[in-house]
């Protein structure tokens, strides 16, 4: 995240939502909907003031926007690291007759025996029963088992083997609406941060060499 980069910069409403979620407070914009008992377009749940349902319901555009935001930020991080990247419909297809695709494709990622790394981004909800059970409102019960791993298993079953057949590694990138990050995704972020740091250090030392030559 950088204040100078428009793609990764938090807007004011995003900061507000982030802090409200971090502290467990209702998000002001959603609180108004919750008080008015606004029904989600799925026609099953009311909108909750924490934003859990909006971010996780496939029928609500908030879920798509949240998903796309994570992809945008991830793609920017990958490009800043120096990798070529393909997004959405440009991502490599899987083998066989399947027309399934992941979300992000790192071209020539450098893993032994594989050309590319395809990532599928997914946001899941920390609350049990998709945030609402008790009279269609949050019941306050959170998952205590490894729900991020469960989502990763579903994604791996769907993509991993078919991508391996075309020489491509697959990895799920899973975050929760409460800010949890699945270990595989966290490891990828670490690898990108490490590569950026190495690139920066190489650039600094190269500049020092040029500088020292200029003054000798």
Which residues are near Zn ion by CB under 5 A?
40, 42, 57, 59
CB of 193 to Zn ion, least distance (A): 35
Residue 40: CB minimum distance to Zn ion, A: 3
In sequence order, the 6+-apart residues with CB closer than 8 A to the CB of 23 are none
What distances in angstroms separate CA 134 from CA 59, 125, 131, 160, 187, one per listed residue?
20, 16, 9, 37, 37
Q: Which of 15, 20, 8, 74 is nearest to 52 (CA)?
A: 20
Please check whether residue 30 is in contact with residue 40, taking contact to mean a CB–CB distance below 8 angstroms: no
Report whether 7 contacts 21 (CB < 8 A).
Answer: no
Using the minimum distance from each CB to Zn ion, give the nearer residue, 7 or 63.
63
Which residue's CB is nearer to Zn ion, number 40 or number 121?
40
Among residues 15, 60, 56, 62, the alpha carbon closest in space to that of 40 is found at 60
Nearer to Zn ion by Cβ, of 46 and 109: the residue is 46
| Distance, C-alpha 167 to centroid of its chain | 24
Q: What is the nearest approach in angstroms of Zn ion to the Cβ of residue 46?
A: 9
Please say which residue, 61 or 108, places its beta carbon nearer to Zn ion. 61
The angle at the Cα of 53, spanning 187 to 58, to the nearest 5 degrees, equals: 80
Three-state DSSP at 65 gives helix
3-state secondary structure of 133: coil
Q: What does the block give as tokens for 111?
A: 């893993």
Nearest approach, Cβ of residue 30 and Zn ion (Å): 13
Question: Smallest gap, in angstroms, from Cβ of residue 54 to Zn ion?
Answer: 8
Q: To the nearest whole angstrom, how small is the minimum distance from the Cβ of residue 64 to Zn ion?
A: 12
């Amino acid at each position: 995240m950088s204040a100078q980069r428009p793609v990764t910069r938090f807007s004011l409403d995003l900061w507000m939502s982030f802090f409200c979620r971090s502290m467990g407070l209702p998000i002001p914009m959603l609180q108004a909907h919750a008080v008015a008992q606004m029904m989600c377009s799925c026609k099953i749940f009311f909108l909750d003031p924490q934003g859990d349902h909006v971010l996780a319901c496939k029928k609500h555009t908030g879920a798509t926007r949240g998903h796309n935001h994570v992809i945008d930020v991830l793609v920017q991080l990958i490009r800043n690291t120096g990798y070529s990247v393909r997004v959405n419909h440009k991502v490599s297809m899987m083998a066989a007759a399947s027309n399934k695709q992941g979300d992000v494709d790192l071209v020539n990622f450098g893993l032994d025996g594989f050309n590319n790394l395809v990532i599928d981004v997914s946001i899941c909800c920390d609350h049990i029963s998709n945030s609402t059970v008790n009279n269609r409102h949050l019941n306050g019960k959170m998952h205590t088992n490894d729900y991020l791993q469960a989502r990763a298993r579903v994604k791996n079953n769907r993509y991993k083997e078919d991508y391996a057949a075309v020489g491509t590694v697959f990895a799920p990138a899973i975050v929760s609406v409460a800010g949890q990050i699945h270990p595989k995704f966290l490891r990828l972020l670490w690898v990108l941060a490490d590569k950026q740091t190495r690139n920066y250090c190489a650039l600094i030392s190269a500049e020092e060499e040029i500088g020292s030559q200029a003054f000798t």
